[in-house]
Amino acid sequence: MSDPRTYTLTLSCPDRLGIVAAVSQFVTARGGWIIEANHHAEQEDNVFFMRQVILADSLNCSVAQLRAAFEPLAKSFGMTWSISDSAVKKRMVVMVSKQEHCIYDLLGRWHAGELPVDIPCVISNHETFRGLVEWHGIPFHHVPVTPENKPQAYRQVMDIFDTAQADLMVLARYMQVLSPEMCERYAGRIINIHHSFLPSFVGAKPYHQAHDRGVKLIGATCHYVTADLDQGPIIEQDVIRIDHSDLISDLVRYGKDIEKAVLARGLRFHLEDRVIVHKNKTIVFR
């Protein structure tokens, strides 16, 4: 038994009286059965956010008709909005380097049908996972990156991404800093897993930094990538307890478990249209 087909409406607009009434009225008038609904108002900025999941079969119109009909209402409230269709899976390009934990975890979830996602291809600066990826029937692109060829390499990555008509790029411990151009071009569409509890230990070798400072918990952070290194909007975080007896190699090992769990949770939020970016923060409707 598979999940029923749903449409997910997400929107933000200046906060004022009657938004929920107008939207729920609109949906009800078309027979729409809402199975999830979340609201949030950012008081400081007077912005309202909303997410509604509607059973497709309950509607007396197509998704195209729904979108067309919603347009004028959205305009009158000044909404930024979208309606996604669970029958149309997002397309996610996975970027990896040589570390196993995130790519194995993602492929396992993909194989189990656990994430609502298609993976058109995996791109790596190493050949390490070609066999594993191809065994899953997923194309694998080896795009080496050196200090010298970075611009060309990243041009190639963008070509592959665009050709694949991808919606999302996930850096599954890709270990390379993307170019500002790429960050801007795919703003809100690149997700990274950083191996520290940001904003602690920005940049390189966070586990070394954590060990030096003597913290008692280490963490990982799933965030949207912006041109500002490790400063993008945070989607999800978690931590794990360590102690004085743990070597840096232990931190790395514990950290992997947190990294892959946090990445998978953050990804799911994004894939299910649960995340709305507002300034440098996220609203996550769980």
Query: Which of 117, 122, 237, 263 forms a contact with a copy of itself (CB under 8 A)?
Result: 237
Query: Which of 99, 124, 192, 226 forms a contact with a copy of itself (CB under 8 A)?
Result: 99
Query: Which of 101, 173, 189, 195 forms a contact with a copy of itself (CB under 8 A)?
Result: 101
Residue 255 binds a copy of itself (CB under 8 A): no
Cis peptide before 199 (omega within 30 of 0): yes
Residue 250 binds a copy of itself (CB under 8 A): no
Single-letter code of the amino acid located at 71: E
Residue 147 binds a copy of itself (CB under 8 A): no
Distance (Å) of CA 255 to CA 218, 240, 245:
7, 8, 15
| 186 vs 197 by CB, closer to a copy of itself | 197
Residue 234 binds a copy of itself (CB under 8 A): yes
- In sequence order, which residues have a C-beta less than 8 Å from that of residue 12 and are 6 or more positions away? 47, 48, 49, 50, 79, 80, 81, 276, 278
Q: Is residue 189 within a helix (H) or strand (E), and if so which, with residue range?
A: none
| 24 vs 179 by CB, closer to a copy of itself | 24
Cβ atoms 280, 232 nearer than 8 A = yes
Residue 228 binds a copy of itself (CB under 8 A): no
Residue 259 binds a copy of itself (CB under 8 A): no
Residue 72 binds a copy of itself (CB under 8 A): no
Task: Pick the closest to residue 96 from 49, 59, 143, 134 (CA basis).
Answer: 143
Residues 214, 281: Cα–Cα separation, whole Å = 28
Residue 77 binds a copy of itself (CB under 8 A): no
Q: Give least dist CB 242 to a copy of itself, A.
A: 10
Length of the chain: 286
- 53 DSSP β-pair partners: 8, 36
Cβ neighbourhood burial of 1 (10 Å; 0-12, 13-18, 19+): exposed
With b for 16 or more beta-carbon neighbours within 10 A and e for fewer, the 118-146 pattern comes to ebbbbbbbeebbeeebeeeebebbebebe
Residue 283 binds a copy of itself (CB under 8 A): yes
Q: Give least dist CB 5 to a copy of itself, A.
A: 16
Residue 257 binds a copy of itself (CB under 8 A): yes
Q: Helical H runs in the chain?
A: 19-29, 63-77, 100-111, 130-135, 150-163, 180-185, 206-213, 248-271
Residue 55 binds a copy of itself (CB under 8 A): no
> Contact region for a copy of itself (CB under 8 A) — 25-33, 71-79, 142-150, 156-164?
25-33
Q: Give least dist CB 236 to a copy of itself, A.
A: 6
Residue 64 binds a copy of itself (CB under 8 A): no
Residues 240, 219: Cα–Cα separation, whole Å = 6
Q: Which residues are catalytic?
A: 230
Q: Give least dist CB 143 to a copy of itself, A.
A: 22
Interacting residues toward a copy of itself by CB under 8 A = 17-18, 20-21, 24-25, 27-28, 31-37, 39-41, 43, 99-101, 104-105, 107-109, 111-112, 114, 131-132, 135, 197-201, 213-217, 219, 233-239, 243-245, 247, 253, 256-257, 261, 264, 280-284, 286
